[in-house]
Amino acid sequence: MNLVLFGPPGSGKGTQAERLRNRWKLRHISTGDLLREAVANQSELGKKVESVLKSGQLVSDDIILGLMRDAILAVKKDTLLLGWLLDGFPRTVGQAKGLDALLGETGTRIDAIIVLDASRDSVIERLSGRRTCTQCKTVYHVAHNPSKIAGVCDKCGGSVVQREDDRPETIAKRLDVYEAQTRPILAHYEGRVPMHVIDGDLPVDDVTTEIERIVGQAAA
């Protein structure tokens, strides 16, 4: 069972990916994790990634796809896993086309794309309300899960602050990029891969229930 979780920043992809991974024995593959693992392992690709990151440049699609290829092949060899789950990739139509070629090369396919379609207002509310501990990285929310003492982490006593990328103006820019570069991927896959759109504004548990229903039907 190979899945792609799709949706704007703040739509809940990370939360749902963790739940899906545990329930269906999937490897959760995100580009951020792949880049960190490659650098830590000092593989050939990892050395290239480290060099690019140190220079302050963006990692090329070719390197990302190379890391993705290694991860997908590793899942195919792991008898304890039932498949993979892509989160935050592909981000552009160009990456989607590269992924198509990679899947053809490895004899793999996407079984379903799950789209968390959260509204712009709800995304800005969710992300702008987030606060993060500068020490232990625990995440809070001013409306839904505040720390007991404002600005102080319940767990370690560290400072709880709003990250720069959680400021409303930054979130708005990220959403603009999503609309311009990432949402067109849906048209690329339309009619080629089963696609399921879920209301990302629903409560987290309700979204999970709907995803479980969809994945259960696809796996049957």
Q: Which of 27, 69, 130, 131 is catalytic?
A: 130
Residues 114 and 198 sit within 8 Å (Cβ to Cβ): yes
Give 121-152 pLDDT, tens digit per residue.
Answer: 999 999 999 999 999 999 999 998 999 999 99
Active-site option among 36, 91, 97, 183: 91
pLDDT at residue 57 above 80? no
Who's near 80: CB < 8 A, 6+ residues apart? 25
Supply the pLDDT for residue 88.
83
* 13 belongs to the catalytic site: yes
* More confident: 34 or 100: 100
Burial of residue 85, with CB atoms counted within 10 A of its CB: 0-12 exposed, 13-18 middle, 19 or more buried = buried
Tokens of 156: 């370690």
Asked if the model's pLDDT at residue 58 lies above 80, the reply is no
The Cα-based distances of 207 to 7, 95, 111, 114 in angstroms read 13, 27, 19, 11
Domains of the chain (ranges; CATH) run: 3-219 (3.40.50.300)
pLDDT of residue 47: 87
Given 23, 163, 173, 213, the catalytic residue: 163
Residue 116 contacts residue 11 (beta carbons within 8 Å): yes
pLDDT the model gives residue 39: 87
pTM equals: 0.85
Q: Determine whether 91 is an active site residue.
A: yes
pLDDT by residue (tens digit) across 164-203? 889 999 999 999 999 999 999 999 999 999 999 999 999 9
pLDDT at 42 over 90: no
- So what's the pLDDT on residue 43? 81
Q: What is the mean pLDDT of residues 111-115?
A: 95
Residue of 13, 27, 126, 131 with catalytic role? 13
- Residues 36, 97, 120, 174: which is the catalytic one? 174
130 is catalytic: yes
Give 30's Cβ-side CA count (13 Å radius).
14
Residues above pLDDT 90, as percent of the chain: 75
The Cα angle at residue 117 between residues 116 and 121, in degrees rounded to 5 = 125
Q: Using the CB atoms, write b or e for 58-80: b if 16+ within 10 Å.
A: ebebebbbbbbbebbeebeeeee
